[in-house]
A = this chain, B = another copy of it.
Amino acid sequence: VPFKQVEPLSHDSLIKRAASLATDSSSTFLSQTSLALIDAITEYAKAVHTLIALQKRYLDSLGKLTPAEEDSVWQVIIGQRAKVNDRQEDCKHFESTWFSAMKLCEAAAEAAYTSGAEHASVTARTNIQLAQAQVEEARKLSLDADKKLAETKVMEVQRMAQYAASLENNEEEEVPEAYLRED
């Protein structure tokens, strides 16, 4: 006999084990979704910072580029804006999964508690708090990026106004329209 059982397992002990397994896998699921969400937020913040850098470089070069150069620069900017939108969609996508994982872990912690698997319940709650803290931390990065992007917007409006004024004085070419599009 590979192993012998001293007495048949009680319903309570089987339920406790099953509750522990359920909290374990719920915690694993929460970890996966947290990692994915944190990655998505980080990628979003990176994309925003790249956009900010591109826009600053464009503003710095206003009036110094040939129309063809200017055109290719704002093609890159438009491409980067699309990338920022994509990264934002990723964030929304993983955020909904993450929320459902948080709810699942709450339910697992509750189930473990009612089953008498206090240790598993406490572990699940700790994992929930940890995930919350990690995601909050990542969100700070993206909020910071959003703030910097808004600042660049202000700077952009000022620079474009200055540039438009200098163009009026010199009667030169107009600000490329496509750059001003908000898509």
Contacts and interface: CB of A to CB of B under 8 A. Distances in A.
Contacts of A100: 107, 110-111, 113-115
A48 interface: no
A150 to B, nearest CB: 29
A163 interface: no
A6 B29 CA distance: 23
A contact patch SS: helix
A33 interface: yes
Interface in A4-31: 11-12, 14-15, 18-19, 21-22, 24-26, 28-29, 31
Contacts of A135: none
B111 A104 contact: yes
A57 interface: no
The 10 closest A-B pairs by CB, nearest first: A11-B36, A107-B107, A18-B29, A100-B111, A25-B25, A18-B32, A104-B107, A22-B25, A22-B29, A100-B114
Given A18-B29, A100-B113, 13 more contacts: A11-B36, A11-B39, A14-B36, A18-B25, A18-B31, A18-B33, A21-B28, A22-B26, A26-B108, A103-B111, A104-B107, A104-B111, A106-B107
